[in-house]
Amino acid sequence: MAAKHRIVVVGGSFGGVNAAYKLRHKLGDRAEITLISAEPDFTFIPSFPWVIMGWRNPASLRVPLAGPLRRRQINFVHDQATAIDPQEQTVATKSGRSFYYDHLVMATGSDLDWSNVVGSDPANGFVQTCFTVEQATNARETLRRFLASGGGRALIGINPGASCGGPAYEIAMTLDTHLRRQRRRHLFDIQFVTAEPFLGHFGVNGIGNMSRMMEDEFRTRHLNWTANAALTSIEPGKATLADGTELLADFALLIPAFYGAQVVRDVDGLGNPRGFIPTDRQLRSTRYPNIYAVGVSVAIAPPAPTQVPVGVPKTGDMTEEMASRAATNIAAEVTGRGQMVDGLLLPVICVADAGDIAMYISADPFLPPRNKVVLKRGRSYHYLKVAFERYYIQKIRYDLPTTHFGW
């Protein structure tokens, strides 16, 4: 019997889990698939704004990975990948284990970079963020104390270089909804500050008339904003911009820039200077063609320059689609059958929630120029996002078919 093709997937979130599932569907018993994740659970991160408002218990957003992966004959390794040797084709982990691969899928996400805004690291104790369960629950408790104070100023911001600004929009709008429901909105000022040149830029030079749509929404909600803003420092009670403008803040939540994962940055030639992996159109590393990258790990250049640096986001929808296409391409290489597909010319669907209504955004392709754009707003899209959260958690648990409601 021929030896099984060995595939290692690093990362246990949208990209890693979906790549592993798709590879099993495509390759059956031809492949031995191992997924390495530093976290024991898949967590539905898009619902963290609701966690921060106290509307969700983080435990309800988690799926332990060991059982679902085992049922699909995917080896699950709860460990942190610490080193990759592209010549020996091995991945080493923190516990000292080593895994050989014929193909490697990097779905490693990112590390947070607080270095360009002095004082912004949440470790300093007065800035919140929203990319892990611990960060979301810390933000929830800090926000609860702030709201109990009886009034004050909230600053929600997107730092220079950030590529995942969507949660900041959702948190600002959802906080407005939360306060209006309590009939206390008049007691709080909500200031939104972003490195983007205009609202709704989203790192891709806008999507259709999203800028006008978002400005109308912010005006209706009495959300003040400063665009093209380079935050340089923050301290208790005050943030400072590069032009000297000072913004008062009793509560601050910021979205940082990203680095590629440390395990990528440590491999000579795998990542760019910030640790993201340059790939060809099929999502193969331009340096090591048997290494694929999906999601945040992939280096994508902004479509247009901006005065203040802004990164290109990789949404959950995009990440899952990349994972599917990377798996298709690996299967084509392994079997010698089927066509390789483009992993970068992607459509995207996103639902930006405000707690009462939501905005539905569909763009094909994601980067301009585009063939089609659909923008809608309404209460039904809020409930669509609620339904999608519940469906997606079951999808991870039971390997259900993909349904692109968007997130």
Residues annotated catalytic, as ranges = 164, 350
* Tokens 């749509």 -> residue: 213
| Alpha-carbon span 299 to 287, nearest angstrom | 13
The pair phi, psi for residue 357, each rounded to 5°, is -120, 175
Residue closest to 131 by CA, chosen among 40, 12, 264, 255: 255
For residues 319 and 14, the answer to whether their CB atoms sit within 8 Å is: yes
DSSP one-letter code for 47:
G
Pairing of strands 90-93, 98-100: antiparallel
316, exposed or middle or buried, with CB in 10 Å at 0-12, 13-18, 19+? buried
Q: What token pair was written down for 193?
A: 């500050």
Three-class secondary structure of residue 71 per DSSP: helix
Sequence-ordered strand ranges (E) for 121-212 = 152-158, 188-194
| Alpha-carbon span 296 to 258, nearest angstrom | 9
| Alpha-carbon span 327 to 297, nearest angstrom | 16
Three-class secondary structure of residue 238 per DSSP: strand
Q: What token pair was written down for 330?
A: 């690996």
Q: What token pair was written down for 189?
A: 């000022």
Three-class secondary structure of residue 60 per DSSP: helix
Instruction: Return contacts of 140-146, CB within 8 angstroms, 24+ apart.
Output: 140/51, 140/52, 140/53, 140/54, 142/251, 143/52, 143/53, 143/175, 143/251, 143/253, 144/54, 146/250, 146/251
Residues 6 or more apart in contact with residue 331 via CB below 8 angstroms? 23, 26, 27, 338
* Tokens 């990319």 -> residue: 131
